[in-house]
Structure 1
Amino acid sequence: MDRFLSFDKMVTPTIIKIIFWVGVVMSVLSGIGTIAAGISSPYGSGLGVIMGLLTLVIGPLLVRVYCELLIIFFKMHESLKRIETQLSSQQQSQE
């Protein structure tokens, strides 16, 4: 609990994983909705169906890339904290 209150343990990477799954579900539902709207269009919107298929494929991929970029920042933070700890322990041992 002390690590949580002093912000030593990050909770945002867990939240980013939840955001990823919500984004995937929203992309899939959006793609299915666009396909359904294209099919039910009175003029037979082939473009709507194609856009829906692209949303089904590219949407989750873009959500994944975005979430990975966010997680990179937290991995960098963990690495910098580890380096800081190692440097401070080396400095203490030299004194």
Structure 2
Amino acid sequence: MSIAYNEKLTDYGIKPSTGTVGDSYDNALAETVNGLYKSELIYSQSWASLMDVEFATLNRAHWYNTQRLHKAIDYHTPTEIKQIYYAKRTTNTPEPIATT
């Protein structure tokens, strides 16, 4: 990391989130997401303008965060899980809190 970057973090009382030198796992999730973004969207076609890339990126981010199937949630989309969660919350009435 640059000295200026570290100084700016220190000025604001922020501890850097990066790990030790040689720690290759530090940024693994971000690198995976960025790699998928580049290979599946950016490098998959030619772009007429920066605005086209920005619009496609917004659409991709929305899809990734709402419609992408997730192995960790049994190949459901985040939207499906959210709907299931709120459906359960509205059908299950909470127990009243006992007062003494």
TM range (shorter): 0.3 to 0.5
Answer 1 or 2: higher relative contact order, Cα 8 Å, separation at least 6. Answer: 1
Q: Computing the radius of gyration over CA atoms, which structure comes out larger, 1 or 2?
A: 1
**TM-score, with length taken from structure 2:** 0.35
Higher helix share: 1
**TM-score, with length taken from structure 1:** 0.36
